[in-house]
Structure 1
């Protein structure tokens, strides 16, 4: 199981990894690289620390400062374990210097320009780390670039929230921006806890600053609990406090399934196989399509494992409660990163994006899409690719993703109304969009997992660039051949009514 090698089994420079070597015997015993073993064990340690935080440092009898200190101390301990000791490893110091630099900017730059300055500083710092990773390892390795990616999200989000809270009027803000606006510069301990807490230090998720502080101070349960009725947190009976036990156990069950997929199914469909001449020359179009579909599906289990485990850690500490469903059941999805079933069974490209790495999608929408003056889709995908790093496969994936987004809108506008005349036609449309979405997701994302440019281009060439051609046809030809219904037309009203019935 290669949880974080993005499908690249050859890791020639892994010896440069400076994290703890304490678990090297375990690494040899299970056949996993030491960085992956350290990560998995760190997540298990974080889970234990989460239970201790919720039970022994509950906000009803522990001050917020103590909880902040606990989260930072455990977070730094886990970080040093994975990155290397502070006394001999400059990579751990890179994280500390990044945090200190960001806080100095918050204290010295005015709220009118803080969001721009922090964004440039964070992305520049991340650029150096990504370039070093590319040159030093040549493949994805669990180093500090991953945590700094999440910290960059948090830091830029906080800077924009401070700008909204201190430099904008209430009338200038959307309801969402008004909700997350920060009205003061955070004190040092709150700032350090937000960026370095053990729940999210390794792989996220990115959370809103106000949500995290509400959680630390106990207001998150109070404000979302129907039993609180405006009383203080200590006045709410403990028997009424939402418990994360059920959510944690359900998500741990999903983690076990993902471990099985990684151990048993992933080796059956190695991503590296699509580089080989046998695959390129001796496998037919249907065979290539089927294999890439299977390989990308099982490879996603690596990401699911990390994200669901991070969600488990957050929930076990009491972080992530998001109110109640209509039937009264508790929701623990405030910081949930992925909706696996929704993604795997999505009926459109838009639904797939909305279910994958959701907290990053929120960040991209807030930082890029809603604030860009023009070319919103292109700039959002460009930022996403650049934030991920400099492996060429990223840019092939996000470049194609931007084109798919535009093409999918045209398909929905032109073709969907044709299939809204009966329930049978609607069902047929859903089957078609489900199959098309699976093919597009596999075709677009395999370069992200393969990382390399020319091998990805060779594979696309052997498959006749069929999705790229379909994208161009849907973008430029489809609206001419099958114009979408005009607003207010009978066809559009019928489609809208069918959608509401669904």
Structure 2
């Protein structure tokens, strides 16, 4: 079952390494690719040490990164590299010349359209069904970058800050890039062949020498340099690069010893298909597909190491004070191999492609987001029928998996034997289960404290206390309201006794997700539209212009559409301060996914007994899932006035399950 010796792998790139290819028995296109990546690794170290921001200005760094990337393209693909250069130049003309309000649409149509045409032509140019390093791979990466930049440029130049999600606001681009910046971002030697796709603002920070210092300040919670990070040398990526190269060596060894003995092409061998029993073919397909993964592990991990060697990809300092260089990592091998669910698998596989799909499609689509995201993923991957079958059928499969999760898993997690069997089953098949410590020892948490702050004194346990945990019943979750405490570190500590600390899940929410939603209400009176309750202003005096107002009517209501499904942690309401604060007495907060009765029939989070004039009150909603948050006054005629509504929560599993790459 070895590779057939008569297979000829076409290449339009350089033939300088043909003797090496013949000696090793590897296709020439793959030898060219590996040679470029190894050269890029050495060039990356040189780029960081001798062309650092302190030694060269950004223009020089941009030019060198782009020219090396273009040289790699020509070496690997010859004249076919013109396809990649053409779409990059055409897309730059779009962002410079086109109407800025439509630049993201034009860029998406151009890049995806050109990619699709090239993917179709690939069927006739290369061996259909053989995964080879042809030019469509870099073209797919460039398509991600072009569209990511276009959407983030539209965010920065066409949208108000309050219209953006926090991650969109942080990555928004406020000025059109210059030609050299655009070429460098799309064609730099570190990522031109195999990616990963990164964000334009982060790449510019890297080129201009702000990448590490900005992330250090961001994660320290300060921006005035007083944390000392501006005075110390940038952390070295050497350990991270060595670790990733060691992983690459292991993957290469596995490929040479196992993958090549289980060629995936044997699945379509006519003799094998015609004579082998079905179960034999199914078993071989399973193991040959599993054995093919290390090829991707090798390529993506080596690309990550190249970026790190150049000084790009710093994420943060971990809890042990060691630098983490996983900002643009494309996979988590351990997470993939131990995944007990389809979602866990795709969350750890081709991570940057999942982020791209979320950035340009899922977060933008007004409806049918899941279906549109799967369709875009299928188009991006190419014209292999298997991709279309996989991604289109994944839509109902994903919906079914969600339903099973919600109706089955809570019956299983409390029984150890059932849970173990379920974990094994889902590891093999891809159904999801959550881990909850419901089998014993729930009273260990009694008396534990939640502490939040920016200090690591006493390992963070000296920070201000949010709450004490009296008790949490076995296998359940409990929400604690921390009243907008600020801090980088969240500690859970059991003081005063010797104990084992076991936590099955900790979820922290703090960002006000209401700001990005859409508000409506039963009626509008006295220039009090519903949007004023999510304007970010807690001003409680009517004349300050920040409160809503309905007519006096039976069951007045106000509704917030969060635009996606969240597990709602808290709802904070600011009451009117100059008069009439008792109007809110008896109001109900309701959360759910239904618009029956305008959303007022959804599950109830809380009843508002009273909120003092001009003050804010927070209600814990115990992670009720929903897209709509309603505040309704039942049972009487009344005016409904709200001066601010703030919502925190965690994006639900139902919100996004990206199609893996």
Give the TM-score band, short-chain normalised: 0.7 to 0.9
**Residue 548 of structure 2 corresponds to which residue in structure 1?**
none
Structure 2 Cα separation of the partners of residues 431 and 41 of structure 1: 41
Query: Larger % of strand: which?
Result: 2
1:39-54 aligned at under 5 Å gives the runs 39-54=33-48
1:275-286 aligned at under 5 Å gives the runs 275-276=268-269, 279-280=272-273, 283-284=276-277, 286=279
Cα separation, partners in 2 of 1:276 and 1:147, compared to 1, 3 Å: closer
| Paired residue secondary structure (1:225) | helix
Structure 1 Cα separation of the partners of residues 412 and 4 of structure 2: 42
> Residue 32 of structure 1: which of 22, 26, 31 is its match?
26
**Residue 99 of structure 2 corresponds to which residue in structure 1?**
110
Structure 1 Cα separation of the partners of residues 75 and 359 of structure 2: 33
User: 1 or 2 for the larger relative contact order (CA 8 Å, sep ≥6)?
Assistant: 1
> Residue 254 of structure 1: which of 247, 251, 255 is its match?
247
Q: Is the 8 A contact 2:13 2:77 kept in 1?
A: yes
**Residue 84 of structure 2 corresponds to which residue in structure 1?**
95
1:197-208 aligned at under 5 Å gives the runs 197-208=188-199
Structure 2 Cα separation of the partners of residues 21 and 437 of structure 1: 43
| Paired residue secondary structure (1:500) | coil
Cα separation, partners in 2 of 1:219 and 1:288, compared to 1, 3 Å: same
| Paired residue secondary structure (2:324) | coil
**Residue 510 of structure 2 corresponds to which residue in structure 1?**
none
| Paired residue secondary structure (2:505) | helix
Structure 1 Cα separation of the partners of residues 132 and 261 of structure 2: 22
**Residue 628 of structure 2 corresponds to which residue in structure 1?**
none
Cα separation, partners in 2 of 1:130 and 1:74, compared to 1, 3 Å: same
Equivalenced residue count is 438
How far residue 112 of structure 1 moved from its aligned partner, in angstroms, is 1.1
Task: Single out whichever of 157-166 and 69-78 deviates more from structure 2.
Answer: 69-78
Structure 1 Cα separation of the partners of residues 178 and 213 of structure 2: 23
How far residue 29 of structure 1 moved from its aligned partner, in angstroms, is 0.3
> Residue 411 of structure 1: which of 389, 396, 404 is its match?
404
**Residue 366 of structure 1 corresponds to which residue in structure 2?**
359
Cα separation, partners in 2 of 1:43 and 1:279, compared to 1, 3 Å: same
Structure 1 Cα separation of the partners of residues 237 and 216 of structure 2: 14
> Residue 373 of structure 2: which of 369, 380, 391 is its match?
380
Q: Is the 8 A contact 1:195 1:201 kept in 2?
A: yes
**Residue 478 of structure 1 corresponds to which residue in structure 2?**
none
Structure 1 Cα separation of the partners of residues 430 and 5 of structure 2: 28
Q: Does 1:185 align with 2:185?
A: no
1:264-283 aligned at under 5 Å gives the runs 264-276=257-269, 279-280=272-273, 283=276
| Paired residue secondary structure (1:70) | helix
**Residue 67 of structure 1 corresponds to which residue in structure 2?**
61
How far residue 352 of structure 1 moved from its aligned partner, in angstroms, is 0.7
> Residue 225 of structure 1: which of 207, 216, 219 is its match?
216
**Residue 167 of structure 1 corresponds to which residue in structure 2?**
158
Cα separation, partners in 2 of 1:437 and 1:282, compared to 1, 3 Å: farther
| Paired residue secondary structure (1:153) | helix
Normalised by the length of structure 1, the TM-score is 0.81
How far residue 79 of structure 1 moved from its aligned partner, in angstroms, is 1.3
**Residue 325 of structure 2 corresponds to which residue in structure 1?**
332
Task: Single out whichever of 217-226 and 156-165 deviates more from structure 2.
Answer: 217-226
Structure 1 Cα separation of the partners of residues 409 and 124 of structure 2: 47
Q: Is the 8 A contact 2:342 2:431 kept in 1?
A: no
Normalised by the length of structure 2, the TM-score is 0.62
Q: Is the 8 A contact 1:337 1:359 kept in 2?
A: yes
What 5-or-longer segments of structure 2 have no aligned partner? 433-472, 479-502, 508-661
Query: Which has the larger Rg?
Result: 2
